[in-house]
Amino acid sequence: MTGAPGRLRGVTKRAAGLVLLVCAAVLPGLIQPESALAHRAALVRDTDPHSDGDMPMPPGGHGEVVPEEAMRPPAPTLPREGWTATADSEETQEGDQRAQNALDGDPATLWHTEWSGDGTPRPHTITIDMHRTAVVSGMVYQPRQDGSPNGRIGEYAVSLSGDGTVWGKPVATGTLADDATTKTLRFVPARTRYVRLTATSEAGGRGPWASAAEINLLGDPGGPAPGADLPRDGWTATASSEETQDADDRARNVLDGDSGTLWHTRWTGTVPPLPHSITIDMHRTAVVSGLSYEPRTDGSPNGRIGQYSVTTSLNGTAFGQPVAAGTWQDDDTVKGATFSQPVSARYVRLTALTEAGGRGPWTSAAELRLSGPADPAVHGRWSSVIGFPLVPVATAVLPNNKLLAWSAYAPDRFGGSNGYTQTAIMDLATGKITQRRVDNTKHDMFCPGVALLADGRVLVTGGSNAERASIYDPGTDKWTSTSDMNIARGYQGMTLLPNGDAFVIGGSWSQDNAPDKGGEVWSAATGTWRKLPGVPVTPILTADPAGPYRADNHAWLYAMAKGRVLQLGPSKQLNWISTDGDGSITPAGTRADSVDAMNGDAVAYDVGKLLTLGGATAYENATATNRAYTVDANGGNGKPVSARTGDMSYARSFGNSVVLPDGKVAVFGGQSYAKPFSDGHSALTPEIWDPATGRFTALASMAVPRNYHSVANLLPDGRVFTGGGGLCGDCQTNHADGAIFTPPALLNPDGTEKARPRFVGDIPAKVAHGQQLKVTTDVPVDRFALIRAGASTHSVDNDQRRIPLTPRKTGTSTYELTVPADSGVALPGTYMLFALDAHGVPSKAAILTVTPAGK
């Protein structure tokens, strides 16, 4: 331990000794990896108990606490000196409610549109002139605080202008919750002078007004540069100093995709002074536009880079003037350096001039990445950020081309068992978002299990009201209760069964783990629950240090013929579950060499074939993996066969994945170090996996982190919605928004949309298993795919599954498709039918319901 000041500085001798003892006991005779040591040290050192007085805690005390980092601003609030505000309308007759009041730092004064006279009709605008140019990444809107709700902004758009005359397309749009809490409207960082908020509706529909107590703007979040990551194959890294004595902290560790390994300058023996540098050699020349730096993930802050500069070279000898320079904040978020302009380079050098916290003369890094300009045809494209009136913690794709989303009893926080839930529905055709508090089912549906029923209704179980079960019917737009479960649950896994019943298992998060959260089945016919005494929860547990409270969470389930269910994670142990009679559970092997992968995810990308991505050995405080596996449920001789496939470039816990019509799987968000309610270590680069090659390719980077409590769903138009994250009250990591990703298959290199095949004529809304379906397209197509509508929460979507269909061509562009006869293959429910042309460009989907014959 002596001679490790870079790691354990600040830890008392006693604590360090304690750590040694612990580790020696764990790994006798082995040299303890420094990262693990330092992490233990961080845990020992961390004695500042964060009390979160404003976070109501659920009874039974499930220990979800908001970490301190969640309280830190993600981007600096810009100083408002010298700013002016103007509005299309101001009340000046009956009150002094001018636009400027939104900038005065006094929440008691407000801007209100004229209300004494006739009032001016909507939309209303308030325009801020900063009188200087700055990078802006968000607007913070505080509704009036005087008790009146009038004029709270509902639907909004934010636009930017350099000169106050020419305005671009909105950088953010959305709908805000009808309450008095402060809202953050995020967007892609941009340099601007003028920022305009346009209100197109009053949140409660109370009148033609708009009002605001305060408006602030957020500056540069310093996150990873926008664009697309360059693939790191064949890259090497060298550094001015490396620790190789007491740890293998070499420069090359920043390129290995494993955030648990790190580069650290020498901290044994004679410790070299700052500055330190690390140089990446790409072994080829590429256009580089930015660098991203992930600090070490092991809990120690030592060596985090503060002041930095970036230089580049074509030949490794001559490095030019810095292409980027600045100072990174002393925290665990992924940092970026956007170059003054894209440069052609083979070598990129990052020089650390200071340690972010002034803790010592070291420099460390978990990962370094370089980005280049994004090519839409390779990397896809993001919509602007769409504000939601709640944090979309759970979502379900509905048969009526709408997306249902909900949070908890509040739009921005959870706690207790309040008996009601905030919900929102986005109409995917118009983008309109409506909000509703659901009281009648007496069910706070925070942290639930979800299964989409055979007829497109949404069954939601447990969560904060842990025994309750509710059903949303998109046909009537109503919520109703079904019977309570026998066992109270939160964080359970659910799946529909081929006969239309639903299976649930696990869920100790809400209530404790007594009784055993074994399996039970909901009957579609009777609406009642039947316990499966033959399906205890024990075989599916992970070895989470937090015990069953975490170990039985978020089961990955794949339902098959005859009510058999493959449980393929997150435990490393796989199990077959029979839901017949009393049920049974039997081992089904392991997921190749995978360890437990809590908060990783699983996607059924083909019949019986699943891809599993990421996860960690513990729910929290654990480094995630970048590994991915395939699991073939049918394998050889009906046994699941698992294999490791390509690694993701990013390790991810809390990511979400969707299968696309062509069978590729796109993964969004997650963080390399699992920590609920934190934006630290966010993977802002989505990746796409190709089943043909087993390789992942980077996609265009996202503007907003999507970690714990985020979602992703394939939409019927072939795009992907991803949103949410947080739900931690007054924290800074609430993400009451989403964005829509257009996959590369839909775009040309110049960003224009590719021509897509279209369905012509009617497609029946309902088809039975084994039935033939005659379809016509406007141009000849190659293949078809059915993708079951998804429901997403907590990185689990046991509903989505893709079924490729081979057409029988009956004319130039007429085809006969056969819906699988096996209801275990085509699990009943809402499906999106896509036609794909020879280049893999998908149509928009026809939405149909696959029903058991005769129903």
Residues tagged active-site: 708
Looking at residue 524, the DSSP 8-state letter turns out to be T
Beta-sheet pairing, 829-836 with 814-818:
unpaired
Looking at residue 355, the DSSP 8-state letter turns out to be B
- Is 317 a binding residue for ligand NAG by CB under 6 A? The answer is yes
One residue of 2, 47, 270, 315 binding ligand NAG per CB under 6 A: 315
Q: Which does 286 bind (CB under 5 to 8 A by kind): ligand NAG, Cu ion, none?
A: none
| Interface segment toward ligand NAG; rule CB under 6 A; list 182-190, 311-319, 427-435, 778-786 | 311-319
Nearest distance from residue 671's CB to ligand NAG, in Å? 14
CB 783 within 8 A of CB 757: no
CB 175 within 8 A of CB 200: no
Residue 263 or residue 654: which is nearer to Cu ion going by CB?
A: 654
What is the identity of the amino acid at 22?
A: V
Q: Where in 545-584 is the site for ligand NAG (CB under 6 A)?
A: 546
Which position has the token pair 């919605």? Answer: 721
Nearest distance from residue 484's CB to ligand NAG, in Å? 30
One residue of 64, 202, 242, 620 binding ligand NAG per CB under 6 A: 620
d(CA 223, CA 210): 33
Beta-sheet pairing, 402-406 with 421-427:
antiparallel
Q: Identify the helix (H) or strand (E) that includes residue 569.
A: strand 564-569
Total number of residues that touch ligand NAG (CB under 6 A): 9
- Is 71 a binding residue for ligand NAG by CB under 6 A? The answer is no
Nearest distance from residue 105's CB to ligand NAG, in Å? 33
Residue 548 — left, alpha, or beta (φ > 0 → left; ψ -120 to 50 → alpha)?
Answer: alpha
Q: Which does 447 bind (CB under 5 to 8 A by kind): ligand NAG, Cu ion, none?
A: Cu ion
| Interface segment toward ligand NAG; rule CB under 6 A; list 246-254, 313-321, 784-792, 793-801 | 313-321
d(CA 477, CA 460): 15
Tell me the two tokens of residue 13: 């001798």
CB 185 within 8 A of CB 193: no
Residue 151 or residue 724: which is nearer to Cu ion going by CB?
A: 724
- Is 356 a binding residue for Cu ion by CB under 5 A? The answer is no
Name the residue whose CB lies closest to Cu ion. Answer: 447
Residue 78 or residue 447: which is nearer to Cu ion going by CB?
A: 447
Nearest distance from residue 646's CB to ligand NAG, in Å? 31
Q: CA of 778: how far to CAs of 337, 662, 781, 835, 843, in Å?
A: 47, 19, 9, 11, 10
Nearest distance from residue 399's CB to ligand NAG, in Å? 40
Nearest distance from residue 362's CB to ligand NAG, in Å? 22
Q: Where in 427-456 is the site for Cu ion (CB under 5 A)?
A: 447
Tell me the two tokens of residue 827: 């699990």
Residue 67 or residue 174: which is nearer to ligand NAG going by CB?
A: 67
Residue 68 or residue 473: which is nearer to ligand NAG going by CB?
A: 68
Closest Cα to residue 512, out of 546, 542, 545? 546
Residue 210 or residue 447: which is nearer to Cu ion going by CB?
A: 447
Residue 306 or residue 680: which is nearer to ligand NAG going by CB?
A: 680
- Is 46 a binding residue for ligand NAG by CB under 6 A? The answer is yes
Tell me the two tokens of residue 380: 């896809």
Q: CA of 268: how far to CAs of 4, 6, 8, 244, 788, in Å?
A: 6, 8, 12, 9, 56
Which position has the token pair 């606490």? Answer: 65
SS3 103: helix
Q: Which does 318 bind (CB under 5 to 8 A by kind): Cu ion, ligand NAG, none?
A: ligand NAG
- Is 318 a binding residue for ligand NAG by CB under 6 A? The answer is yes
d(CA 216, CA 105): 9
Q: Which does 389 bind (CB under 5 to 8 A by kind): Cu ion, ligand NAG, none?
A: none
d(CA 781, CA 78): 53
Residue 69 or residue 717: which is nearer to ligand NAG going by CB?
A: 69
Beta-sheet pairing, 394-397 with 155-161:
unpaired
Nearest distance from residue 330's CB to ligand NAG, in Å? 16
Residue 770 — left, alpha, or beta (φ > 0 → left; ψ -120 to 50 → alpha)?
Answer: left
CB 660 within 8 A of CB 718: yes
Compute the CA torsion angle 486, 558, 668, 43 (nearest 10 deg).
Answer: 60
> What character string, x for contact with ligand NAG (CB under 6 A) and - otherwise, covers 621-640?
x-------------------
SS3 73: coil
Beta-sheet pairing, 385-387 with 172-175:
parallel
Residue 66 or residue 704: which is nearer to ligand NAG going by CB?
A: 66
Q: Which does 224 bind (CB under 5 to 8 A by kind): Cu ion, ligand NAG, none?
A: none
Total number of residues that touch Cu ion (CB under 5 A): 1
Q: Which does 94 bind (CB under 5 to 8 A by kind): Cu ion, ligand NAG, none?
A: none
Q: Which does 561 bind (CB under 5 to 8 A by kind): Cu ion, ligand NAG, none?
A: none
Q: Which does 428 bind (CB under 5 to 8 A by kind): Cu ion, ligand NAG, none?
A: none
Residues that bind ligand NAG (CB under 6 A): 46, 65, 67, 315, 317-318, 546, 620-621
Residues that bind Cu ion (CB under 5 A): 447
